[in-house]
Amino acid sequence: MSRRSGRIDSGTPPAKKGRFVSSDEESSENEMDQSQNPDFITPNSTEAEVGIIERVTLKNFMCHSRLEFNFGPNVNFIVGRNGSGKSAVLTAMVVGLGGKATVTNRGSSVKAFIKDGQSTAEVAIKLRNRGTDAFKSELYGNSIVVERKLSADGGTQYKLKSTSGKIVSTKREELSHILDQFNIQVDNPVSILNQDTSRNFLHSKNPHDKYKRRVESVLLIADNQDARTCMRTCPPQNCREAFTLVGDQVHAGAEQRYYSSNYDKARYISADVEQQITETQRELSVNQAEYERLRRQSNEFTNSLKSNTVQKNKAQTQRMKTQELICKVQFDINELRNYEEAAPVDVTTLEEEVGVYEDQMDKLTQQKQTAEKDMEKLKNNYKEAIDNFEKVDKKFKELAEKVEPLKDDLNRAHVDVETAKQHKQHYEGKRRDHNAKIVDLKKQYAREEKKTEEATKKAREICPERIDTRRTASNIDSEITQVERRILAEQKK
């Protein structure tokens, strides 16, 4: 297909006839290269976002009962022995994308491609559909599946499915638009070159014949009407399309597909890229401002329409009530006119009632007008209230933004206070314990002091004079103990 670049190995098909390899190749067949994945992207490589064939599925097509290929995004190779069905895959691509049987040089009718003993054959081709050049991406998604069913009676059916498998169209014209969008030409040998065409091309000795037979010409015609007439009536040989001065594309043939350009003038790359970017940004700003103006105007019109609709409904309700009242009065008048008693007093009374009703209608009309004025005042008051509310809400949000940090500080202060309270309780408990210990020590000190005084008193009775000594209390206690033992010993004697 066109728009392909780079190099990548072909994907190994899951079906049993997907590849035809020798016994020497079977050992390496299990080593799957990641580049065979259709979504694999090699470093520093660029690949097309539309028109890439990602998968081909065959059923009862030529020599294949069931075959499925997953292709990579760039160059793919199909390897197999002679007669294994490699060319059948290429033929299936041409036929699956709407090509005629004669283009393939393998038959004169599509029914010749149906496998022997079968009544139908199916070809499904999955095309990539991404990026800005995608075809109806909102309907098809990131890929388009083209299914073509061939019947033994020569009939054919198309199904164009989205990524999710939903059938979007069954028309051949839709497929033509897709191929034009992706620039896929199944009958162009530059896009698809089969064996016979390649053989004839190589055996042709005259370069002029090669150019004449194989190169397609494209016309450039200034006027779009002249382009239509030329491509419909007498297109040049090997010319299938023409372009107008404004970029419109015209295809040859009876159906004559015509595609209008999205631009009214030629697009070119400016020498000063920065200036072009600035101009583009300026245009974008102008378009955004215009969009905002139109959006505001649309909102104003919508609000005005809603208000007018409410007023209209109220007026219609009041009008219906008034009409009912008029009909009732008219009915009463008609009944009185049909009444046989010619009593002028009754007619006068009815006329007075009519006058009363008319006065009531005038009052109701005045009340309606007053209500409409009140409604306008209420609308203005409501609008002022909304404005005031927005102002107050804005101030409230500003205050809320200022209060949030204060709330955090207040929460931290509360945490610090609670921590201080816990510490205070802890230290107060310790203080009480220390005070209790101090009281106990004071009592113990008083007892010891009393004992000391009593001992001092006894000592003074024994020896009134205070004797200074360097002996320790323990030595004195030991000596006193020895003296007491001696006294006891003498008493026992």
In this prediction, residues 108-131 reach a mean pLDDT of 91
Q: What is the mean pLDDT of the chain?
A: 78
Burial class (CB in 10 A: 0-12, 13-18, 19+), 171: exposed
Q: Would strands 143-151 and 120-129 be described as parallel, antiparallel, or unpaired?
A: antiparallel
The answer on 166 and 50 residing in a single domain is yes
Give 337-347 pLDDT, tens digit per residue. Answer: 776 554 444 56
- 378 pLDDT more than 80: yes
| Range in 157-166, 188-197, 448-457 the model is least confident about | 188-197
Q: What pLDDT is stored for residue 20 in this prediction?
A: 38
Q: What is the CATH number of the domain that holds 110?
A: 3.40.50.300
Region 451-469: mean pLDDT is 75
| Residues 144 and 86 reside in one and the same domain | yes
Highest-confidence range of 206-220, 377-391, 466-480, by mean pLDDT?
377-391
Q: Is residue 396 part of a domain?
A: no
Q: Which residues of 402-428 are buried (b: 16+ CB within 10 A; e: fewer)?
A: eeeeeeeeeeeeeeeeeeeeeeeeeee
Alpha-carbon gap, residue 415 to 293, rounded angstroms: 53
Residues 97 and 147 in one domain: yes
Domain-embedded: residue 18: no
Whole-number pLDDT of residue 30: 43
Structure tokens at 94: 């041409």
The CA-based angle 311-316-320, given to 5 degrees, is 150
Residue 77, pLDDT above cutoff 70 = yes
Both tokens of residue 171? 């028309």
Range with the largest mean pLDDT of 52-61, 348-357, 470-479, 484-493: 52-61
Residue 49 in contact with residue 130, Cβ under 8 Å?
yes
At 260-281, the pLDDT tens digits run: 766 655 555 555 667 777 887 8
Same domain, yes or no: 311 and 198:
no
CA distance 439 to 432: 11
Using one digit for the tens of pLDDT, what is the confidence trace for 6-33? Answer: 333 334 344 433 343 344 444 444 444 4
Question: Residue 210 has what pLDDT?
Answer: 57
Is a pLDDT exceeding 60 seen at residue 159?
A: yes
Q: What pLDDT score does 387 carry? A: 85
Nearest to 123 by CA among 144, 100, 102, 93: 93
Of 321, 348, 377, which residue constitutes the final position of a domain? 377
Does one domain contain both 36 and 169? yes
Q: Is the pLDDT of residue 208 over 80?
A: no
Q: What is the pLDDT averaged over residues 423-452?
A: 86
Better-predicted residue by pLDDT, 272 or 382: 382
Segment (H or E) for 277:
helix 273-338
442 domain-assigned: no
Q: Is the residue at 437 inside a domain?
A: no
**Res 75 pLDDT > 70:** yes
- My answer on whether 246 and 309 are in the same domain is no
Residues 6 or more apart whose CB falls under 8 angstroms from that of 111 comprise: 150, 151, 152, 153, 154
- For residue 267, the model assigns a pLDDT of 54
Residue in 108, 83, 78 with CA at minimum distance from that of residue 93: 78
Residue 458 domain-assigned? Answer: no
What is the pLDDT at residue 27? Answer: 41
Q: What is the predicted pLDDT for the residue at 16? A: 38
pLDDT value at residue 1 = 36
Q: 388-397 long-range contacts, Cβ below 8 Å, gap at least 24?
A: none
Q: What is the pLDDT of residue 46?
A: 66
How many whole angstroms separate alpha carbon 244 and alpha carbon 249? 7
Cβ atoms of residues 215 and 83 within 8 Å: no
Residues 6+ apart with CB under 8 A from 35: 8, 9, 42, 72
Residues 6+ apart with CB under 8 A from 488: none
Say whether both 158 and 261 belong to one domain. no
Q: What is the average pLDDT across 53-70?
A: 92
Same domain membership, residue 157 and residue 238: no
145 in any annotated domain: yes
pLDDT of residue 273: 67
% residues pLDDT > 90 (the chain):
14
Domain closes at, from 346, 377, 408: 377
Q: Clarify whether residues 143 and 191 are in a common domain.
A: yes
Residue-level pLDDT at 21 = 39
The whole-number pLDDT of residue 280 equals 78
Whether 220 and 304 share a structural domain: no
Which letter does DSSP use for residue 62 in this model?
Answer: T
Least confident of 160-174, 233-247, 351-365, 473-487: 233-247
298 inside domain: yes
Q: Looking up tokens 């109701």, which residue turns up?
A: 364
Whether 205 and 238 map to the same domain: the answer is no
- Region 137-159: mean pLDDT is 92
pLDDT value at 40 more than 80 = no
- Which residues touch 159 (CB under 8 Å, ≥6 apart)? 145, 146, 147, 148, 149, 167, 170
- CA 170 to each of CA 125, 161, 166, 397: distance values in angstroms, whole numbers, following the listed order: 15, 9, 11, 57
Please name the residue that has the structure tokens 């005259």.
206
Mean pLDDT for the stretch of residues 173-180: 89
If you search the block for the tokens 């009444």, which residue do you land on? 339
Separation CA 353–CA 329 (nearest Å): 9
Select, from the ranges 200-204, 217-221, 307-311, 354-358, the one with the highest average predicted confidence (pLDDT).
Answer: 307-311
pLDDT band at 164 (very low <50, low <70, confident <90, very high): very high
Residue 209 domain-assigned (yes or no): yes
Q: Does the predicted TM-score (pTM) go above 0.85?
A: no
Residue 110: domain span: 26-215
pLDDT of res. 458: 78
Helix (H), strand (E) at residue 54: strand 50-61
Query: Given a cut of 50, is residue 81 above it in pLDDT?
Result: yes
Distance CA 66, CA 412 (A): 74
Instruction: Provide the β-strand partners of residue 67.
Output: 58
Is 481 a residue whose pLDDT tops 60? yes
Strands (E), 223-322: 239-243, 249-251, 258-259
Please check whether residue 97 is in contact with residue 179, taking contact to mean a CB–CB distance below 8 angstroms.
yes
Whether residue 57 is found in the same domain as residue 171: yes
Closest CA to 181 of 147, 132, 110, 228: 132
State yes or no: pLDDT of 162 exceeds 50. yes
Q: pLDDT confidence of 149, banded at 50, 70, 90?
A: very high
- How far is Cα 353 from Cα 330, in angstroms, rounded to an integer? 11
Indicate the number of domains in the chain.
Answer: 3
